[in-house]
Amino acid sequence: MITAGTVSVGLGILGIFLPLLPTTPFLLLSAVCYSKGSEKLYNWLLDNRYFGSYIKNYREKKGIPLRAKITAIVFLNITMGYAIFFVVHYFWLKVILFLIAVGVFIHISSMKTLNNGILRRNQSKSKSIIKPGRVKTKEA
């Protein structure tokens, strides 16, 4: 189980840089493998500063950050679109890829969105710009 978890972590890390390789499923698989094989590696994975919070939030059904949703959907559309229009030549395979893309899109969209990251930054900027109060008008 430790070997499978380590391979899965490696594939998950590669998935950060290669859009065709999914990151989250591999990291979730590695969490399951490590939970069965090594408590030390399992805790290391969950306490990792880069992807530990994603695993915890997903497993606890809290949701995923808006930035992660947007990134996943954008890369999904780019890679599947490229494959459908330029790589695959069989119509039936194009239909299957399209249906897979729709399924993944629905899954990602239906998950809860964590209200941190992009939203909080934009809200704090708008609060500092807009100040409540009366509008002064020029009298003639």
Is residue 3 domain-shared with residue 38, that is, in the same domain? yes
Residue from 54, 56, 49, 45 nearest 23 by CA: 54
Task: Round to whole Å and give the CA distance between 66 and 72.
Answer: 10
The answer to whether position 136 is within a domain reads: no
Q: What is the mean pLDDT of residues 120-135?
A: 45
Query: pTM of whole model > 0.85?
Result: no
Q: What are phi and psi of 48, to 5 degrees?
A: -65, 135
Q: What is the mean pLDDT of residues 14-18?
A: 80
Burial of 13 (0-12, 13-18, 19+ CB in 10 A): middle
Q: What is the pLDDT of residue 121?
A: 43
The answer to whether position 50 is within a domain reads: yes
Query: Domain span at residue 22?
Result: 1-62
Is residue 38 domain-shared with residue 85, that is, in the same domain? no
Distance of CA 44 to the CA centre of its chain: 20
Q: What is the mean pLDDT of residues 83-106?
A: 93
Reduced to 3 states, what is the DSSP secondary structure of residue 6? helix
The answer to whether position 53 is within a domain reads: yes
The answer to whether position 128 is within a domain reads: no
Task: Round to whole Å and give the CA distance between 84 and 60.
Answer: 35
Domain count, the chain: 2
The answer to whether position 28 is within a domain reads: yes
How many CB atoms neighbour CB 22 within 10 A?
17
Q: Given 38, 62, 86, which residue is the final one in a domain? A: 62
The answer to whether position 132 is within a domain reads: no
The per-residue pLDDT of the chain, averaged, comes to 80
Q: What is the pLDDT of residue 6?
A: 93
Per-residue pLDDT band for 3 (boundaries 50, 70, 90) equals: very high
Task: Round to whole Å and give the CA distance between 37 and 44.
Answer: 13
Q: Which helix (H) or strand (E) holds 97?
A: helix 91-110
pLDDT digits (tens, 9 = 90+) for 54-81: 788 877 888 888 887 888 888 889 989 9
Q: Dihedral sign for Cα 107, 110, 114, 118, please.
A: positive
Is residue 57 domain-shared with residue 80, that is, in the same domain? no
